[in-house]
Structure 1
């Protein structure tokens, strides 16, 4: 629906109005100029006729007058010295012509347009001039003066033609400009409407919506600017969600840590009492249990620090030592679950320290435990890359990551297991970030590979 507030009207109305006023102004000026030009032309014709007839010696009979009248587009009347009409080319009463001629002064010069008298005959009005002949007493036709009548209709037609041409040109220009402007504004309004719809989708949270129409004009640049804003809003929204997730993670971590701390303390006391009653080499499982409880206690300590918004003090350790500890603690669990767990630790890792040993141990433990719960064959490979990174690859033959979780795999509370909390991989990603590294995953040869990178500090 087109209203007076529409961009089409706001652009089109001033253009049409200005063009119309300009066309009317040009037509009025042309009309005035045409009137002046027609008057000058009339006076020039009068002078020409006057010079020709006043000096003529040939008789001015009706045939000659008609020829001259046709040539000059005028009407001619000859009068004698008493004012009586001798010959005329105009079809009008003789008495009316004689009466008018008697009141018209005889002059050898043309008057100004404002003072030229007019004669009304039948349905026509004429501009009249009267001039004398030379030596009328010696002329055989007894013509003492000649009355020239110019039809005012011809003058009006000349003025109208002069005004109509610019007016018609202006109106046609208005139609053309209005049509072009309407087409251009229609396209512009469609683009603006489309841009409005896309902006509304962005405002509703659809930050993936494409806004720009890839046109390099102002609207195109506006769409590109809105699209840039949408990308920034997307990043801001992701940051806010990440912060909210971390805040919730801190709260959950604090609650779990307080619940687990008391349980772990009691379990450790019970296992240590039982170990004191057994022979020193009686049960490898007791040592594994004590080691797992100690590791869990360290996790609980870190969870309490996370819940309070603090980070545990970094303890740089040899990367190989950390990986060997993880291997010793997880191998019995793999045997218990009948999982083939293989470790390939490059001896070149020995002597290379990382920023925090506990972060590396917790991250690799999480990755290996996930692999053990997913597949029945797990391999851990550790290498030095570019003398800058410790790369640990955890490879399993499980089904891999669900398609629905690919984009959000390392976000908190994202899991495919009904009993899972979705906190393992976020802890891995946080540890990689703390160790100035990163973690990536891929699917290769029907196997899932997680590559963990930690920067070497010495």
Structure 2
């Protein structure tokens, strides 16, 4: 059974308030009754004292006047019960209580038993007086205080606090209702937002303006949404890498075999034709370049299955990054020259020793170089102008920075924020793995890979920690 939080808060509070009001009302009713009775008795005692101390006869007129002042009825009777004077009608018949005690002094007058006179209830009390006519027999002054007058006085003392208590309960109910209604609204909205998170929408929720626990809850939901979005992206990337590794394992094996066979065929052809072509092709290193490209292809295919796994490097060692980049530039320059791209590379004079796996690092740098050549060639083909690719290597404190800039148009805005994720590419024939692999290699080496667009150039900067021993001698 669903119990709304509004009732979970309101029912206990209102119950406590009602029980407290009932207990207070019971105590107050008892105290009010006692105080009202005490006040009425003092009033009657005052009237009795005036009558006792006065020396004038207690005629019906005098008793009528005292009745108007005291709000009670008086009957003066002889010791035998004969009415001598009264503020009541003489025709009314009253049977006085037989067991009622007659007070001897005005201070002893109290409200006694209930007495019905003409269908009207009265509190009865009596006082013994000396005979004002000179006789020796005592007289009895019977006093009747109306019960409705008593009740009126009682209500005047009891009802105002009770009304204030009822208003307080109503205020508690209203305040509790307003507070719980707000909490219900916030929790309902957060419930919908959490359900939205469960459905895969990780956008931030609106944070309440009031700085309380509900605001903290909304902030926690936003933090959870951010982490879930990161986890989802990482999971998607991991699954993509895993899928690529599974699908590519067979393809890599076949391509490696084909590349090996092609390289062996070139080696045999080179040995058979060495004598006849040595003189004619003096200085022609195209076959040597083809062999180097095929060897590089074999190594790349062997490393292909590393994608999607922890890339810590099988053989990390101290590598001169300038030498490695120089070798890779030599492989890329023929393709750049064929595409009409001017390739600018100057080996730095400062030490550029880093600690990494040579195969993985060369794979990352080669991807950056090939992307730069493709981008510059594409720009040159559409503008009928020559393109440029510039590779620079420098030191930035404790880091070695390799910057590869090209004159291409740069990545489209649609993929600018996801450029390093797998399968993100604007090339019709591309699969979007080159930059993903490069970023993974940079992270594995403790470095970073970033890109910027400055001065009509697209610049990719690979930063790697320099070897500390080398830094000491710089």
1:414 equivalent in structure 2: 424
CA distance in 1, matches of 2:221, 2:430: 40
Distance 1:257 1:67, change over 3 A: same
Alignment length, in residue pairs? 449
Partner of 1:122: 118
Distance 1:307 1:58 in 2: 122
Write the distance in 2 (CA, Å) between the matches of 1:156 and 1:383: 105
Q: What is the CA-CA distance between 1:137 and the residue it aligns to?
A: 4.1
Corresponding residue SS for 1:346: coil
The aligned counterpart of 1:281 is 282
Equivalent residue number for residue 304 of structure 2: 303
Match status 1:313 vs 2:315: yes
**8 Å contact 1:27–1:164 — kept in the other structure?**
no
Cα distance change, pair 329–183 in 1 and its aligned pair in 2 (3 A): same
Matched, 1:94 2:96: no
CA distance in 1, matches of 2:309, 2:81: 129
1:127-142 matched pairs, under 5 angstroms: 127-138=123-134
- Is the partner of 2:298 in helix, strand or coil? helix
Cα distance change, pair 195–261 in 1 and its aligned pair in 2 (3 A): same
Inter-CA distance 32–430: structure 2 relative to 1 (3 Å threshold)? closer
Q: Deviations over 1:278-331 (max 9, x none)?
A: 235264433322221122122123225669978442353322221221121111
Structure-1 separation of matches of 2:397 and 2:47: 115
Distance in structure 2 (CA, Å) of the matches to 1:210 and 1:106:
84
CA distance in 1, matches of 2:438, 2:100: 119
Distance 1:391 1:102 in 2: 121
- Which residue does 1:195 correspond to in 2? 190
5 Å-filtered alignment, 1:356-371, equals 356-371=357-372
1:451 is displaced (CA, Å) by 0.8
Q: What do the CA deviations read for 1:139-168 (whole angstroms, capped 9, x no partner)?
A: 7xx993322221111111222333322321
Hey, what's the Cα distance between the residues in 2 that align with 1:339 and 1:207? 45
| Structure 1 residues without counterparts, runs of 5 or longer | none
Instruction: State whether residues 350 and 395 of structure 2, in contact with CA within 8 Å, keep that contact through their aligned partners in structure 1.
Output: no
Alignment pair present for 1:325 and 2:327: yes
Residues 155 and 274 (structure 1 numbering): CA distance in 2 closer, same or farther, change over 3 Å? same
**Contact 1:60–1:143 (8 Å) recurs in 2:** no
Encode CA deviations 1:353-396: one digit per residue, 9 max, x unaligned: 55333333322221121111112323223232235333221111
Q: Of 342, 345, 353, which residue of structure 1 is paired with 2:344? A: 342
Q: In the aligned structure 1, how far is the partner of 2:79 from the partner of 2:268?
A: 163
CA shift in 2, pair 1:135/1:385, >3 Å: same
Report deviation, 1:212: 4.6
Shift of 1:8: 1.0
Offset of residue 81 of structure 1: 5.4
CA contact (8 A) 1:317 1:357 kept: yes
Matches of 2:80 and 2:304 in 1, distance apart? 136
Label 1:80 to 1:305 Cα distance change in 2 as closer, same or farther (>3 A): closer
Q: 1:356 to 1:13 in 2, by over 3 A?
A: closer
Deviations 1:44-96 (A, max 9, x none): 23332333223422122233222222222212222345533233222x34350
Aligned position for 2:383: none
Q: Is the 8 A contact 1:383 1:392 kept in 2?
A: yes
Cα RMSD (Å) = 2.9
Task: State the SS of the aligned residue for 2:350.
Answer: helix
Shift in alpha-carbon separation, 1:224–1:342, aligned structure 2, 3 A: same
Pick the aligned partner of 1:246 from 241, 245, 261.
Answer: 241
The CA distance in 1 between the partners of 2:442 and 2:358, in whole Å, is 12
Q: How far did 1:426 drift?
A: 1.4
Change (3 A) 1:93 1:121: farther
Q: Provide the rounded CA distance (Å) in 2 between the counterparts of 1:8 and 1:251.
A: 55
Which runs of no fewer than 5 residues in structure 2 stay unpaired?
A: 381-386
- Are the structure 2 counterparts of residues 387 and 136 from structure 1 closer, same or farther at C-alpha, using a change threshold of 3 Å? closer
What is the rounded CA distance, in whole Å, between the counterparts of 2:217 and 2:246 in structure 1? 43
1:153 aligns with 2:153: no
TM-score, with normalisation over the residues of structure 2?
0.85
